[in-house]
Amino acid sequence: MKISGERLESLYTTMVKIRRFDERTVELFNQGLVKGTAHSYVGEEAVAAGACAALREDDYIVGTHRGHGHCIAKGARVDRMMAELMGRQDGYCRGLGGSMHIAALDLNILGCNGIVAAGLPIGTGAALAARLTRSDRVVVAFFGDGASSQGVVHESLNLAAVWKLPIVFLCENNQYALSTSSKRTIAGESIAGRAVAYAIPGVRVDGNDVLAVYEAVETAVARARAGEGPTLVEALTYRWGGHSMRANLPDYRTKDEEREWMERDPIARLKPALETAGATLMRIKELEESVEVDLDRAVAFATASPEPTVEIMESSVYAPPVAVADEPADRSGPERTMAEALNEAMHAEMTRDEGVFVMGEDVSLIGGIFGVTRGLREKFGEDRVRDTPISEAGFLGAGIGAAIAGRRPIVEIQIWDFIAVTMDQVVNQAAKFRYMLGGQPTVPLVIRGPQGGGIRLAAQHSQSLEAWFAHVPGLVVVAPSTPYDAKGLLISAIRDDNPVIFLEHKALYATKGPVPAEPYAIPLGRADVKRAGRDVTVIATQAMVARALAAAADLEKEGVSVEVIDPRTLVPLDEAAILASVAKTHRLVIAHEAVKRCGFGAELAALVAEHALDELDAPIVRVGARSVPMPYNDALERATIPGQADIVAAIRRVL
């Protein structure tokens, strides 16, 4: 292929800048200015340089933990990158992300990633966002040979191929996953050869030949931009150094092997093409010297940058709450089931905001196994109501990527227990993305689905897992107990700029209650007093709310006045409402369906013990499930889940 002298100079300069940046990083690491660790890209420069040269400015990339080269090739400023490596406030992530998490959203660099292969679902989601907005933007998602063994690689390739998304999956096969040779861990003749299983092109290219990489990626990008779907490109290359600057591992490669690959130096291999195009040795030296000047300035900039403050750190976890109108003073309306109320919320928000879309298993054609998304496909079309493969980590990660790229996805987990296979995407990606990028991006994502027992689905379909997510900074956790609350809270969750875990109790889907016909939002973080009382406070969640109210009605006959509070939102928690109630009643019972040990009730008890201990006239009593997996037998299930009688007994204990 014919390439202009200007393009050749740009490729050469980019590769030299990548190499010298990482060589300087080693020096700074040895001086103690770069801490933690960093992963050198020396030897692999041709892959990032060639790939990013084939992209437009508005195209996206997703990098890896070895991502300095990806960022530099996409145009990132080396001074801000160096400041980030030093943990300084002027770094791309304000010192909160570090080497493995550098991102520059203004350049459409959607973050490098410390979790192997985790960026592929995110890149797939960015490609989905491009498809939904009918743009011709393309994504390049980098990953390594070691990452190719991860399940989310398959899930992302399959999802992108099924939906013909505009993404190029670029495997940088540097021969080793940390210390283990790819020859010992990867089946088949090549990683690119796997593409045939997805009916997409698979291309293997010399990753130390920048022109070969450029040509291969340019072809793949053109195909993606034309709407023809993804391509898998495998670039064979080699990292010259060890796994990381901190590793200090025994030798695991032979000197002969290292020497052989260094003789294929991608920078040296481009020089003849430069000279053929008319570049003199003096011009090449000028290009190299310009890089040194840039890096000297970058180091000076970084060392002069201040350290980030605790205030910056703490303000970076959550996006500011979105202002919503107060909830209706009049809660009357037609009777609706909780499933119908949730459906109304999604109808309203999808009508109001075309960026809202729904995806999950069986949500489109049949409207979900509990009917919550029924009718959405008919009104909004299959583009915005998407049935997915059974690949929760892949499509949930795609939801994260789409949210980062400007959409507002609602991702349904068909049965909440299945969330366990997505935990990296939820905990390490969605929850931490804003924080790791210095509090700058938003991740407006709702992850919703049915949890809880009571309908005989046994141990793997009946858990109540809210405590898992309440423990993770960066997540909002919502748990409605009535149709009215479900509609208003889901509308607020969809409008929020943070990832929201929206927990629906499957045994409550059929429960009915009045729901205002018009759309309304309930502010997140506001508890609801379901019943006022004087003698004891019961804080109950989800299915336990109705049982607590029934218990209160029974005890009223004995002259006992019970106040029932539903937090509705677990994170953020309405601490003021809880403490005010305890100050009034001086007694506290906490009821939830989850296993009592380490359940969310322990956090509520700790809150009151720390802030209102002197108000208590009796010990706090918690009511929760037995510490056993949910049994299938119906009598044993009833014995496991707390009932009205258990709450009554707990109230009697504190009186």
Cis before 572 (ω within 30)? yes
Region at 541 (left for phi over 0; alpha for psi -120 to 50; beta for the rest): beta
> Domain residues for 403?
335-514
Check if the beta carbon of residue 476 is closer than 8 Å to that of residue 571: yes
- What is the structure's pLDDT at 245? 87
Do 559 and 509 fall within a single domain? no
Do 202 and 98 fall within a single domain? yes
The whole-angstrom distance between residue 302's C-alpha and the CA centroid of its chain comes to: 29
Domain-located, residue 326: no
User: What is the DSSP code (8-state) at residue 4?
Assistant: -
Rounded to 5°, angle at Cα 567 from 564 and 568: 115
- Residue 505 has phi, psi (to 5 degrees) of -85, 125
Do 351 and 269 fall within a single domain? no
Rounded to whole angstroms, the Cα distance separating 559 from 562 reads 10
Question: To which residue do tokens 């999956």 refer?
Answer: 169
- What is the structure's pLDDT at 530? 98
Amino acid present at 545: V
Do 23 and 161 fall within a single domain? yes
- What is the structure's pLDDT at 326? 85
Check if the beta carbon of residue 212 is closer than 8 Å to that of residue 50: yes
Rounded to whole angstroms, the Cα distance separating 484 from 327 reads 10
The CATH number that applies at residue 544 is 3.40.50.920
Using the 3D structure, point to which of 461, 491, 514 is the last residue of a domain: 514
Check if the beta carbon of residue 102 is closer than 8 Å to that of residue 115: no
- What is the structure's pLDDT at 353? 98
Do 489 and 348 fall within a single domain? yes
Using the 3D structure, point to which of 480, 514, 548 is the last residue of a domain: 514
Do 501 and 548 fall within a single domain? no
Total domains, the chain: 3
User: What is the DSSP code (8-state) at residue 202?
Assistant: E
Rounded to whole angstroms, the Cα distance separating 234 from 142 reads 10
Do 339 and 413 fall within a single domain? yes
Using the 3D structure, point to which of 282, 303, 324 is the last residue of a domain: 303
Rounded to whole angstroms, the Cα distance separating 377 from 382 reads 6
Domain-located, residue 83: yes
Check if the beta carbon of residue 113 is closer than 8 Å to that of residue 103: no
Domain-located, residue 521: no
Do 88 and 236 fall within a single domain? yes
Do 82 and 105 fall within a single domain? yes
Residue 488: enclosing H or E segment and its boundaries? helix 483-495
Rounded to whole angstroms, the Cα distance separating 154 from 160 reads 10
Task: At 396, list the tokens.
Answer: 């949930």
pTM strictly above 0.85: yes
Domain-located, residue 194: yes
Check if the beta carbon of residue 399 is closer than 8 Å to that of residue 445: yes
The CATH number that applies at residue 369 is 3.40.50.970
Domain-located, residue 171: yes
Q: Can you list the residues of the chain whose pLDDT is less than 50?
A: none
Do 79 and 212 fall within a single domain? yes
Closest C-alpha among 10, 11, 19, 6 to residue 295? 19
Pairing of strands 180-181, 176-177: antiparallel
Residue 564: enclosing H or E segment and its boundaries? strand 562-566
Domain-located, residue 433: yes
Do 290 and 206 fall within a single domain? yes
Domain-located, residue 311: no
- What is the structure's pLDDT at 396? 98
Rounded to whole angstroms, the Cα distance separating 165 from 152 reads 16
Active-site residues, by number, are: 461
- What is the structure's pLDDT at 500? 98
Do 376 and 298 fall within a single domain? no
Kindly tell me the sign of the dihedral angle through the C-alpha atoms of 207, 211, 214, 220.
negative
Domain-located, residue 523: no
